[in-house]
């Protein structure tokens, strides 16, 4: 069956591009002697997570406990929740997972550790914790050294908690003005993460894991400093228009949304049958990830989405309008693929023009 015979809108994944992306990052990690732990919040599919492990990834990362539960139920046995965990309900779920798989998660505040100690007090093995280091994204993570030492001291006082290491995410690399600035952001983030790893060692808690990563830094083959042990990229598997601009090509974009032309109401306006509920309303307007509009038409790379309603895409382009007819199908390269995957129940795997499989997006909606 040809993918053009499918009903729309629908999420497509090009098998050959996907496999090339997976091998690229795994080869990069292997060549430099690092563990690769892909962040699966991008695709939310155990099917792809298993592919990543089969070619060499040592476990996966997720964003939420619900994602970890689904991945574990589908055979993934080494999972890091790259997020702070708050609340006894979530900790009880992690404790249950820890009975059958290797699972670790993030903290950045002493009260989080104290809650973990309480929940894991009667567990068969201690909770595995990594401390997040804030490296410029202005999100969660340790900023002040005093707070880091206080957190280490709390961990030392908790016999049912084990310090595994430190992790960071240089998401500010997305807004770098050029590749040299991106490289400097990556190196600064690594130095800061390694600094805190050394502070932990000096305070009697030697980190086993020093985990870093963002797709722009790793896809551009920047230097990884000695002491880093783990790379944790996610978007690289599928890529998107913004990440494509960061590396200078859209050829690595494996995921597209197939949509139909449903109206040509003016001499330059074209309407497609997908909107914010299928491609999101997100934009990237700054730095190396800056992308025109709210999506790019794969068959017409100079054509970009002007706007979206819930169920409609709006394009203003006379030349495009003159080349398409109502009923024609086109593929949209999303600006940001991560939220797009969360909008679909499944994705269709294609090879060339042929449909080869359907992949359930089993972690869709697992936000708790």
DSSP 5-43: GS-SSEEEEEHHHHHHHHHHHHHHHHHHT-EE--BTTTT
The Cα-based distances of 171 to 182, 236, 340 in angstroms read 10, 14, 19
The mean predicted confidence, pLDDT, of the chain is: 97
Average pLDDT value for residue range 246-257? 97
pLDDT tens-digit readout, 327-337: 999 999 999 99
**Mean pLDDT confidence for 305-328:** 98
What average pLDDT does this structure show over 171-188? 94
15-238 is classed CATH 3.20.20.10:
yes
Give yes or no for residue 341 having a pLDDT over 90: yes
> Mean pLDDT throughout 343-357?
98
**Dihedral sign, Cα of residue 323, residue 327, residue 330, residue 332:** positive
Cβ-contact 333, 250 below 8 angstroms: yes
- Residues 6+ away with beta carbon under 8 Å from 147: none
Give the pLDDT of residue 114: 98
What is the band of 291 on the pLDDT scale with cuts at 50, 70, 90? very high
pTM assigned to the model: 0.96
Which residue, among 179, 219, 164, 171, has the nearest Cα to 36 in the 3D structure?
219
Residue 220: pLDDT over 90: no
Does the structure show a pLDDT above 90 at 217? no
Percent of the chain with pLDDT over 70: 100
Q: Where do the domains of the chain lie?
A: 3-10+242-360, 15-238
Architecture field, domain 3-10+242-360: Beta Barrel (2.40)
Q: What is the pLDDT of residue 221?
A: 82
């Amino acid at each position: 069956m040809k993918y053009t015979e499918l009903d729309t809108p629908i999420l497509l994944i090009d098998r050959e591009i996907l496999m090339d992306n997976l091998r690229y990052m795994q080869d990069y990690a292997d060549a430099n002697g690092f563990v690769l732990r892909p962040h699966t919040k991008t695709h939310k599919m155990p099917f792809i997570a298993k592919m990543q492990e089969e070619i060499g990834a040592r476990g996966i990362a997720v964003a939420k406990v619900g994602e970890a539960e689904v991945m574990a139920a589908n055979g993934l046995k080494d999972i890091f929740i790259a997020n702070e965990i708050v609340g006894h309900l979530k900790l009880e779920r992690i404790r249950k997972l820890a009975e059958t798989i290797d699972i670790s998660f993030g903290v950045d505040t002493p009260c989080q550790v104290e809650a973990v100690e309480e929940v894991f007090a009667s567990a068969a093995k201690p909770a595995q914790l990594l401390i997040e280091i804030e490296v410029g994204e202005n999100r969660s993570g340790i900023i002040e050294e005093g707070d880091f030492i206080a957190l280490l001291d709390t961990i030392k006082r908790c016999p049912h908690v084990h310090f595994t290491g430190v992790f960071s995410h240089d998401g500010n690399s997305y807004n770098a003005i050029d590749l040299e600035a991106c490289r400097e952001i990556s190196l600064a983030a690594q130095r800061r993460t390694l600094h805190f790893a050394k502070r932990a060692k000096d305070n009697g808690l030697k980190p086993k894991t020093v985990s870093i990563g963002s797709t722009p830094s790793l896809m551009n083959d920047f230097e990884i400093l000695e002491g880093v042990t783990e790379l944790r990229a996610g978007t690289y598997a599928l890529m998107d228009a913004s990440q494509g601009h960061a590396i200078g090509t859209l050829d690595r974009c494996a995921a597209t949304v197939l949509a139909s032309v449903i109206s040509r109401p003016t001499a330059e306006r074209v309407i497609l049958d997908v909107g914010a509920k299928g491609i999101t309303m997100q934009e990237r307007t700054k730095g190396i990830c800056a992308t025109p509009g709210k999506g790019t038409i794969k068959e017409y790379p100079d054509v970009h989405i002007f706007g979206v309603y819930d169920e409609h895409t709006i394009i203003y382009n006379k030349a495009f309008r003159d080349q398409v007819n109502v009923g024609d199908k086109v593929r949209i390269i999303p600006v940001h693929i991560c939220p797009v995957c969360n909008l679909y129940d499944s994705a269709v795997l294609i090879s060339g023009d042929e449909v080869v499989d359907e992949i359930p997006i089993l972690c869709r909606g697992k936000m708790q």
